[in-house]
Structure 1
């Protein structure tokens, strides 16, 4: 028990929440992309209302908004704690069967519904640090959904604790649960006026102690190649095959640098994520990532040059190159209000944890929220092995995150 006098509910909530299929769909134009995400959101609203949070609501876009009222007369900045309800399209989230492995002993975890799926400390070295913890996994057929239902459960546990302990001094706290984070549309329709918060924290990180205040900056690039159609029986000297142009282009991409397979740390990359087409037209879609926003344009110019070289190999072909902004490195915003990270670091220390300020080789809802006026770093939940059947989470990590949020709310009140 990480908070004296508090019976944690995070694990129990989590094991219920993951059984609800909330997978998002990148091919859907609707908001949210799948209606089934609201199945969990409706439950969350009901549970918040049962706690006594009377303004909890689910809007038509799939967002849950709720308020934990202030318990102080001080003018404290309004905080927002945010997590997403959807799970990744990469792996099935239907029929999740969570398994609680009490007092994990460090041995391989063989998942019963597919014994070929084994979670080992070799592949997951963080598990060595969690020996003795209670570990939750799926059963081998699905992902678990710790990303980010661990965050949802942590915030719900926090709400239960603060509502029950009004002697804890804190300012107004807003709760935001979002859909579609996994497909990059997590805050696309969030009502910032309704949210009405000054600073935020997403609960969507991994290892205990990690405090993430920097993400990639991200663009999407679409390269479309145009060929010339002709009857294949009479195509000599006439046909230009768009698929072959696209194939040549993909083959020209670097294989020993500039791609996710060989980059790490602060290195950026350019990554093809989809290819489709036919004789007359073929399209290759990319994600472009770098911590230095200015370098995105350099990556895109290089990619466009490779595409132009491919077109030059096939006389008569042509191409278009379109770039769309996705999100930006939240550090650019957080650097203007260092107290947001500093208060979080202080909360970690009060919980007996040395904060490790980290960079995310990806993005969070906080990336976009930061540029929408809500500076928003990311706090750990213990979610590991995400987007896979080997996903797992430590119950004690979730409980420690709840403790940190209690300290964080107190610190903002004390500093006001």
Structure 2
């Protein structure tokens, strides 16, 4: 059993380091401060006895736990990211530890009257009696994905300290910039050298995911014609009104706030405009590849229809694919999901197998030749001040990693 206080101390040492990524930066990592934690992880990996510890020019940290069995076992990997989202402050994170949680509301910040409501956030109820780590209400926590790093590091340390547990060669990698969609962009799959891997980046205890959205980004530029409003009759073309027509012509209920499970959507994430030009930014999501392609076509067809209506080329649409559903790459090797499910059940965790309504480094890595399902890291309410993580969930995630290593070694005896 992993040491509870050791996990708490390790996790807090990570979240206190600001590693927020920046989508407006072209460098990798996108912020210099990500190096602070990356370098700390290198030192820690060496200190616990990991081998082949490396960090490259883009701050990708890799390390090896050598096999301790005589027979050949496929190399497996575990991956987590150390950046935190740009959506909410990660500066001066001040974690609060609530021991023996009583199931009631948790006051995060009395002065600002910020409360983690057990009624609103119903998942809290399942952790009654456990130790909960929360924010102080002014920042995010960073369990996404410093919980994952904590679990991988803890599992590797435990396996090193307990060599009687059989395992093959294990590779670990900690990456930058996942939160801005670039976590796998400079990941050297060949150097990593694993046959398959798992991202420790899911949410509540038990989550096991091997399918995610197909994703694209669309930028819609609408051109108007600005004329003095006093002399505008039959001359002015207001791009904002055309934008309004475009927005209202897409299916109104196929948006994030009206969809769930495997239902796809169009999400209008930004509007900037004036009479002369309006720019709409969308993300397009769908688990089904055929429906995904149909959504992109629908958007382009709508642009063409509006151009025809105004008898001018007034709508330009640029659509870029971001990532695809990893399911098509994982299904041919479903035994890697079965192993994860078996590992969870072996340590008394009930698997919750469901599609990810989002993306993961695992999706991109799967299409880069490294099949990579996603396993829970234990946190809740990511990307905001209500984020929290039960310590017992991190303990269980570390145990799942260790059991996966053991089961893989035994499977190939």
Q: CA deviation at 1:230?
A: 4.3
> For structure 1, which segment, 76-85 or 216-225, has the greater mean C-alpha deviation from structure 2 after superposition?
216-225
TM-score (norm 1): 0.94
TM-score (norm 2): 0.95
SS of aligned partner of 1:56: strand
Q: How does 1:296-335 map to 2 (within 5 A)?
A: 296-311=292-307, 314=310, 316=312, 318-335=314-331
Superimposed CA distance per residue, residues 246-297 of structure 1 (whole angstroms, 9 cap, x where no aligned partner): 2332244433x11001101111111011222444432211111111011111
1:341 is matched with 337
Q: Does 1:407 align with 2:403?
A: yes
Q: Residue 94 of structure 2 is aligned with which of 93, 97, 101?
A: 97
Q: Does 1:118 align with 2:121?
A: no
Q: Distance in 2 between matches of 1:369 and 1:11?
A: 30
1:259 is matched with 255
Q: CA deviation at 1:101?
A: 0.5
The answer to whether the 8 Å contact 2:215/2:322 transfers is yes
Q: CA deviation at 1:234?
A: 5.0
1:195 is matched with 192
Q: Distance in 2 between matches of 1:264 and 1:276?
A: 28
- Structure 1 spans left out of the alignment, 5+ residues: none
SS of aligned partner of 1:401: helix
Q: Distance in 2 between matches of 1:238 and 1:74?
A: 79
Q: Residue 381 of structure 1 is aligned with which of 377, 383, 403?
A: 377
2:156 is matched with 159
The answer to whether the 8 Å contact 1:114/1:139 transfers is no
Q: Residue 284 of structure 2 is aligned with which of 269, 272, 288?
A: 288
> For structure 1, which segment, 331-340 or 229-238, has the greater mean C-alpha deviation from structure 2 after superposition?
229-238
> For structure 1, which segment, 216-225 or 77-86, has the greater mean C-alpha deviation from structure 2 after superposition?
216-225
Cα 1:114–1:385 shift into 2, 3 Å: farther
Aligned length: 412
Superimposed CA distance per residue, residues 71-93 of structure 1 (whole angstroms, 9 cap, x where no aligned partner): 11221111110011111111111
SS of aligned partner of 2:270: strand
Q: CA deviation at 1:55?
A: 2.3
The answer to whether the 8 Å contact 2:76/2:194 transfers is yes
The answer to whether the 8 Å contact 1:245/1:314 transfers is no
Superimposed CA distance per residue, residues 331-386 of structure 1 (whole angstroms, 9 cap, x where no aligned partner): 11111001100111110111012222111111111011111111111111111011
SS of aligned partner of 1:360: coil
Q: Distance in 2 between matches of 1:25 and 1:244?
A: 32
1:16 is matched with 13
Runs of 4+ residues over 6 Å off in structure 1:
none
Superimposed CA distance per residue, residues 86-107 of structure 1 (whole angstroms, 9 cap, x where no aligned partner): 1111111111101110110101
Superimposed CA distance per residue, residues 281-340 of structure 1 (whole angstroms, 9 cap, x where no aligned partner): 322111111110111111122223333444456554511222211111111111100110
1:50 is matched with 47
- Structure 2 spans left out of the alignment, 5+ residues: none
Q: Distance in 2 between matches of 1:412 and 1:157?
A: 19
Q: Residue 370 of structure 1 is aligned with which of 353, 366, 373?
A: 366
Superimposed CA distance per residue, residues 22-52 of structure 1 (whole angstroms, 9 cap, x where no aligned partner): 1111121221211211111111111111112
Q: Does 1:128 align with 2:130?
A: no
1:248 is matched with 245
Q: Distance in 2 between matches of 1:126 and 1:277?
A: 40
The answer to whether the 8 Å contact 1:106/1:128 transfers is yes
Q: Distance in 2 between matches of 1:320 and 1:114?
A: 49
The answer to whether the 8 Å contact 1:187/1:369 transfers is yes
Q: Distance in 1 between matches of 2:340 and 2:26?
A: 36
